[in-house]
């Protein structure tokens, strides 16, 4: 039994016990469908009967109301049954968060109980032939005609295509470039299988996602009523974004339980495999490999549930959700690779459920936003955080005659704000950080005074070729540095010299 974290509610602890047992009891059946290459409908129906599809849905709409944490618990355990985990995840992603945040009460009452009962599976349709990571580049159009919308276009890589009854999709409702610039060109809709003109175009033969149909869908003059629009016209991008943190979290969490299963297989296998007169679990390399996977499993799991707790507390952990998705999908691929290596040739055969973990992991690194896209998000949103923007400055310590990271006032603080002193501040910084520019705020921190006066002095010094500037896209001075002429004008040559104690005077010139 996996660890139940101390911050979970009793209901969340209980659901892990229940769904964990369900996964244990149905492992063999999931393997049966893997070999049969069939979509596991009977298993899906059992999951629906247990009510697991409703784990994250509020009780008033027929769900269990166990939040993101409960959803992660169910994803973690159903993920051990391969296809089941993916079906559960996309069915939740196909409307749950979007309806809760943007749907009308009427729409919630219409759709959420169906999702909770698992009586129809759902698919989420963002990706198109020309819109992958650039998800806003949708070509599928929705045109208003009276009380209806006419849909034309295609979506691809849709998990659950064909077996799903409910499709949550995004279409273009404006071609105005100024609206497009503000991401106001997209609107979101729900459509059900069987609507005239809505058809399945192709099923992809994939490296992973065994037994889960993934394919292309086609809209040809499809008419849907305005009641199927979720959220205001032009707000589809916001609707998409509103569910993304949950989506990324759960897209990673679905793999966590599998790492645990692989660890159990490895412990069992290496206790029974003898080479060079010893069981292979006695080889340090094998132990190290298993230890690394245990660390990954525990770190990935802890991080996921920490992120789930933040969502349940009403926060939007943008960076952490991307980290959770990225690290766990990397971990699961690395687990597959390592487990195969530990098991040798046996790991490569399909008789052990190890090779499919490597394939699943590789797939995981692409779905729900590639890991490169996650890294872009992690970098961009972290770069805005105050914690990473606190100024860290090296300042010269005269007693030690070395630069130290310091918060103390510089020796220029309070001096008159004129060209000579500003040039001295900038030239002194060459002694401290020879290869770096200063920001205008660094200069201001060192000498004080008003930003506008400092900027005017920069412009004058630049004109005299005593400093060089680096300007931002708007043409404003973003960074400054002394030219060699500027350095010469500010201080004598000796000012910049520095030699370690052991350096002989005879070698100086
Ligand atoms: C098994 C599977 C299931 C899926 N299920 C669904 C689903 O249910 N619904 C759905 O809508 N979609 C689904 N997708 C689509 C998935 O979300 C996309 O495949 C994914 O977003 C990447 O888009 P793409 O494949 O077009 O690759 P591209 O966007 O063409 O990317 C190709 C490469 O370029 C890199 N790249 C792209 N842009 C940048 C950038 N700005 N900076 C750095 N690198 C960049 C990518 O990281 C990648 O390495 C699924 C995909 C798979 C494989």
- Measured in Å, residue 247 CA sits from the centre of ligand 1 at 14
Distance from C-alpha of 93 to C-alpha of 116, rounded to nearest angstrom? 12
- Report DSSP letters for 338-368, one per residue: HHHHHHTHHHHSTTSTTHHHHHHHHHHTTTT
Give 4's DSSP letter: P
| Domains in the chain with CATH codes | 1-120 (1.10.540.10), 122-242 (2.40.110.10), 251-387 (1.20.140.10), 394-507 (1.10.10.10)
Query: Residue 2 has what pLDDT?
Result: 85
Distance 497 CA to ligand 1 centre (A): 53
Best probe residue, ligand 1, of 370, 373, 376, 377 (max atoms within 8 Å of C-beta): 370
Q: Residue 139 C-alpha to ligand 1 middle, in angstroms?
A: 16
pLDDT of 95: 85
Residue among 79, 126, 239, 367 whose CB has most ligand 1 atoms within 8 A, to mutate: 367
Kindly state the DSSP code that residue 50 receives in the 8-state scheme. Answer: H
Question: Residue 159's beta-bridge partner residues?
Answer: 214
Closest CA to ligand 1's atom 52: 367
**Ligand 1: distance of its center to the CA of 109 in Å?**
33
* End-to-end CA gap in the chain: 72
Per residue of the chain (509 residues), give pLDDT as tens.
789 999 999 999 999 999 999 999 999 999 999 999 999 999 999 999 999 999 999 999 999 999 999 999 999 999 999 899 999 999 888 888 899 999 999 999 999 999 999 988 999 999 999 999 999 999 999 999 999 999 999 999 999 999 999 999 999 999 999 999 999 999 999 999 999 999 999 999 999 899 999 999 999 999 999 999 999 999 999 999 888 899 999 999 999 999 999 999 999 999 999 999 999 999 999 999 999 999 999 999 999 999 999 999 999 899 999 999 999 999 999 999 999 999 999 999 999 999 999 999 999 999 999 999 999 999 999 999 998 988 889 999 999 999 999 999 999 999 999 999 999 999 999 999 999 999 999 999 999 999 999 999 999 999 999 999 999 999 999 999 999 999 999 999 999 999 999 999 999 99
Q: Which atom of ligand 1 is nearest to the CA of 212?
A: 1
| CA 13/CA 111 separation, integer angstroms | 28
Instruction: Give distance in angstroms: CA of 377 to centre of ligand 1.
Output: 14
**Dist CA 13 CA 70 (whole Å):** 9
pLDDT for res 221: 98
Query: CB 421: neighbour CB atoms within 10 A?
Result: 17
Residue that is written with structure tokens 């991307």 in the block: 322
CA of 488 relative to ligand 1 center, distance in Å: 54
Closest CA to 192 of 164, 165, 225: 165
Q: Which DSSP string corresponds to 211-267?
A: T--EEEEEEEEEEEEGGGEESSTT-HHHHHHHTHHHHHHHHHHTTHHHHHHHHHHHH
Tell the residue nearest (CA) to atom 40 of ligand 1: 373
Neighbours of 391 (CB within 10 A): 9
Its sign, for the CA torsion 368, 373, 378, 381, is negative
Cα–Cα distance, 189 to 148 (Å, whole number):
12
Q: Ligand 1: residues whose CB is within 6 Å? A: 90, 123-127, 132-133, 157-159, 206, 209, 214, 363, 366-370, 372-373, 376
Contact indicator for 240, 93 with CB cutoff of 8 Å: no
Q: How far apart are CA 325 and CA 302, in angstroms?
A: 13
What pLDDT, on a 0 to 100 scale, did the predictor assign at position 82? 85
Q: How many CA atoms lie within 13 A of 362 on its CB side?
A: 10
Q: Whose CA is nearest to atom 48 of ligand 1?
A: 370
Do 454 and 419 contact (CB within 8 A), yes or no?
Answer: no
Phi and psi, residue 128, nearest 5°: -135, 170
d(CA 136, CA 236): 10
Distance 478 CA to ligand 1 centre (A): 35
Gap from CA of 134 to ligand 1 centroid (Å) = 8
User: Which residue is listed with tokens 């409307």?
Assistant: 95
């Amino acid at each position: 039994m996996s660890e139940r974290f101390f911050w979970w509610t009793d209901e969340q602890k209980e659901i892990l016990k229940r769904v964990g047992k369900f996964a244990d009891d149905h492992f063999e059946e999931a393997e049966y469908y893997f070999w049969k290459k069939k979509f596991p409908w009977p298993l899906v129906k059992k999951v629906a009967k247990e009510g697991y599809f409703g784990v994250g849905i509020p009780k008033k709409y027929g769900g269990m109301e166990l939040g993101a944490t409960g959803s992660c618990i169910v994803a973690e355990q159903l993920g051990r049954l391969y296809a089941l985990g993916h079906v559960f995840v996309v069915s939740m992603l196909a409307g749950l968060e979007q309806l809760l945040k943007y749907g009308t009460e009427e729409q919630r009452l219409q759709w959420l109980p169906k999702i909770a009962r698992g009586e129809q599976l759902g698919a989420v349709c963002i990706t198109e032939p020309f819109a992958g990571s650039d998800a806003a580049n949708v070509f599928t159009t929705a045109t208003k005609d009276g009380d209806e919308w006419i849909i034309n276009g295609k979506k691809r890589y849709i998990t659950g295509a064909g077996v799903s009854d409910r499709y949550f999709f995004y279409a273009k409702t404006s071609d105005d470039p100024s609206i497009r610039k503000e991401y106001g060109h997209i609107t979101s809709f729900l459509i059900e299988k069987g609507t005239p003109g809505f058809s399945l175009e192709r099923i992809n033969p994939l490296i992973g996602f065994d037994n889960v149909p993934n394919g292309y869908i086609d809209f040809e003059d499809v008419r849907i009523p305005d009641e199927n629009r979720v959220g205001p016209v032009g707000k589809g991008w916001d609707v998409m974004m509103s569910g993304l943190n949950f989506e990324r979290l759960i897209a990673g969490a679905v793999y966590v339980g599998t790492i645990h299963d692989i660890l159990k297989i490895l412990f069992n296998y290496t206790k029974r495999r003898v080479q060079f007169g010893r069981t292979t679990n006695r080889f340090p390399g094998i132990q190290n490999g298993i230890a690394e996977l245990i660390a990954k499993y525990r770190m990935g799991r802890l991080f996921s549930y920490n992120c789930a707790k933040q969502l349940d507390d009403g926060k939007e952990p943008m960076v952490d959700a991307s980290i959770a998705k990225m690290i766990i999908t990397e971990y699961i691929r690395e687990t597959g690779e390592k487990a195969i290596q530990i098991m040798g040739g046996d790991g490569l055969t399909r008789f052990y459920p190890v090779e499919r973990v490597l394939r699943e992991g590789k797939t995981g690194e692409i779905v729900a936003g590639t890991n490169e896209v996650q890294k872009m998000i992690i970098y961009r949103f972290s770069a805005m955080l105050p914690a990473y923007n606190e100024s860290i400055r090296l300042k010269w310590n005269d007693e030690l005659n070395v630069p130290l990271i310091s918060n103390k006032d510089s020796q220029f603080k309070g001096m008159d704000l004129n060209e000579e002193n500003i040039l001295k501040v900038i030239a002194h910084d060459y002694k401290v950080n020879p290869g770096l520019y200063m920001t205008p705020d660094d200069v201001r921190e060192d000498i004080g005074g008003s930003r506008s006066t400092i900027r005017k002095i920069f412009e004058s010094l630049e004109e005299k070729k005593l400093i060089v500037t680096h300007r931002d896209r708007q043409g404003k001075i973003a960074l400054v540095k002394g030219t060699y002429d500027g350095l010469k004008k500010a201080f004598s040559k000796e000012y910049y010299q520095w030699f370690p104690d052991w350096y002989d005077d005879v070698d100086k010139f």
